[in-house]
Amino acid sequence: MSETLQQPRIDTARLVARIEALGRIGALPGGGVCRLALGDDEKRGRDFLVAAMRDAGLEVVVDAIGNIFGTRVGRRTAPVVMLGSHIDTVATGGLYDGALGVLAGLEVLATLDDAGIETEYPITVAAFTNEEGARFAPDMLGSLVHVGGLDLDEALATRAIDGAILGQELQRIGYAGGDAGPRDIRAYFELHIEQGPILEDEAIDIGVVEGVQGISWTELTIEGRSAHAGTTPLRLRRDAGLAAARIATEVGAMVRAIGGDQVGTVGALTLSPNLVNVVAQKAVMTVDLRNPDEAILQQSEAALAESVARIGAEEQVTVERRALARFEPVAFDPILVDQVEDAAAALGLSSRRLYSGAGHDAQMIARIAPAAMIFVPSVGGISHNIQEFTRPDDLGNGANVLLRVALASADAIL
């Protein structure tokens, strides 16, 4: 591909219009969206995406876990350059998380069509199933199955937080496919909003993502004994609620003591019987630990285990632990990372390198293929929130970087 020839630019208005159109599916009052994986609204979102792919003349494949792949043919049949992300959201999600990467991929292909550009290698746009993990655990389930990291039958048997079975939901919404998506991948790129404040705070256009930090999700089920809140003395209490509160406090103290990039979150906590005048008999809580350094992540896991055991004994409750997800830190392909940085510079955009604090499908694809990510700023660093917003100019900047690296990796004929 000659660098002396004028390269095309994406149509930002067209990209924004498509993001807004998808955002109307599962729209929430006051803004934002709710498209939980394999629910009715996410099914409508899938229908929207597949229709757009077919309108663009792409070859569409849905695999057995519901991942959607739309491929623009190249002169060769393989390997493919893959541009991907997801369209499922959390319950109070925004328009950009995940959807940007998929719809920007479609915009890249539309731009190539507009310019009449052929590529040596095919380009595939992928939308992976259940990236968020908001309804089914683990998160990034579809991409994990795609790369062979999770057995298909085990994934299909996964039970949702609402009791539904994943395989049955795929059948119900019509996305239990039978074909296999492409695994011979020349390069994988994922454009995503940062979901944090760094790029906006430093007035940087493009985040060049070097890798994704490790993630450890644990569910704790604490069993105590219900009792009268007014008549039961402390020495006779087996208070599951108090034990849960103490564990949550210990998580906060532990991550501050470790410092650096370590973070920890108690994201879900339910009490039973959940009455104002009854000592809680049962508590179920989750702990999310993350760090880009595997050794320090293991240190935080060990500290959590020690705290849970100690507090359980002191409060005379039993605690069962269940691992919901565990992913080691991932470093992206250094050649592709350099390409993203170079593409930003060639477009006159400022950039900086950083690690992702959130999990992404790219970290799964990195198990079988070279992978990299492109970040664009999030206003206020807000994400997983109906106020999530990225400015159109930033969306266009990220999509143009995506276009440039896709052109290079697919050996575009300009």
- What's the pLDDT at 55? 98
86 labeled part of a ligand binding site: yes
- What's the pLDDT at 2? 39
- What's the pLDDT at 414? 66
CATH topology of domain 215-327: Alpha-Beta Plaits (3.30.70)
192 labeled part of a ligand binding site: yes
DSSP 100-130: HHHHHHHHHHHHHHHHT-EESS-EEEEE-TT
- What's the pLDDT at 336? 98
In contact, 81 and 404? CB cutoff 8 Å: no
132 labeled part of a ligand binding site: yes
CATH of domain 12-212+329-413: 3.40.630.10
Of 91, 99, 128, the closest CA to residue 22 belongs to 99
Rg (C-alpha) for the chain, rounded Å, is 23
Q: Identify the burial level of 367 via C-beta atoms within 10 angstroms of its C-beta, where 0-12 means exposed, 13-18 middle and 19 or more buried.
A: middle
228 labeled part of a ligand binding site: no
DSSP state of 354: E
Q: Cα 119 to the chain's mean position, in Å?
A: 29
Q: pTM (2 decimals)? A: 0.86
Domain boundaries, the chain: 12-212+329-413, 215-327
Distances (CA, A) of 403 to 83, 112, 148: 10, 9, 28
Q: Would you give per-residue pLDDT tens digits along the chain (414 residues)?
A: 434 347 899 999 999 999 999 999 999 999 999 999 999 999 999 999 999 999 999 999 999 999 999 999 999 999 999 999 999 999 999 999 999 999 999 999 999 999 999 999 999 999 999 999 999 988 999 999 999 999 999 999 999 999 999 999 999 999 999 889 999 999 999 999 999 999 999 999 999 999 999 999 999 999 999 999 999 999 999 999 999 999 999 999 999 999 999 999 999 999 999 999 999 999 999 999 999 999 999 999 999 999 999 999 999 999 999 998 888 999 999 999 999 999 999 999 999 999 998 889 999 999 999 999 999 999 999 999 999 999 999 999 999 999 999 999 999 876
